[in-house]
Amino acid sequence: MPIDYSPELYRKAVQATEGTEEALYAAYYDSQYDMLTSLKPRVVGHFDLVRLMSEDPGRDVERAWPHVWARIRRNLDFVVGYGGWLECNSSGLRKGLAEPYPGRRIAEEYLGMGGRFTVSDDSHGIAQVATHYGGAVEYLESLGVEVVWTLERSPPTHPGGQQGRAMLKEKPVALEEFKKITL
């Protein structure tokens, strides 16, 4: 069920989950956990997308709904445990949120667990490429992030020059360098 297309669809999602945002948030993070344990994606996007249409997108979930916060921590711990990354998604800024995805409290918790970030604009067209990257970089700097991660393709190294699959390897990029090449 879409939760980010319109306030009307968000309200329908709330109604489908016991009629409260608290229940929707819990269901969102439980569904996310199911996806994480099934797929173990290298990059986890839109970690807290559920807050986009919320009545209070800046809500302190840790204080308001401790059982939802426990789900968030469970999911973050799982991502860190298998070596996944969260995206710092600048589209939250484009869509009117005060912070990119994930919000500050989640980002702080994730970093405290040893988590790593990559950066995304979630562009759906040329006009959105790198939109609000400046704000995303400022946000990451305010969190104390010095390195973001990307993937680098390397040619296959097979004996005798045989063709094979290209390999992807994790590559750290200093946030200062990222800033120079994207802003």
CATH class of 7-182: alpha beta
- Distance of CA 89 to CAs 2, 15, 19, Å? 18, 27, 28
Tell me: the pLDDT tens digits for 31-66? Answer: 999 999 999 999 999 999 999 999 999 999 999 999
What gap in Å lies between CA 8 and CA 13, rounded to an integer? 9
Q: Looking at the predicted structure, is the pLDDT value of residue 24 above 60? A: yes
Which secondary-structure segment (H or E) carries 169? Answer: strand 167-174
For residue 117, the SS3 value is strand
Q: Read off the pTM.
A: 0.90
**Residue 159: pLDDT band by 50, 70, 90 thresholds?**
low
- For residue 34, which phi and psi values (nearest 5 degrees)? -60, -45
pLDDT at 129: 58
For residue 112, the SS3 value is helix
128-132: average pLDDT: 59
Tell me: the pLDDT tens digits for 141-156? Answer: 999 999 999 999 887 7
67-86: average pLDDT: 98
Average pLDDT, the chain: 91
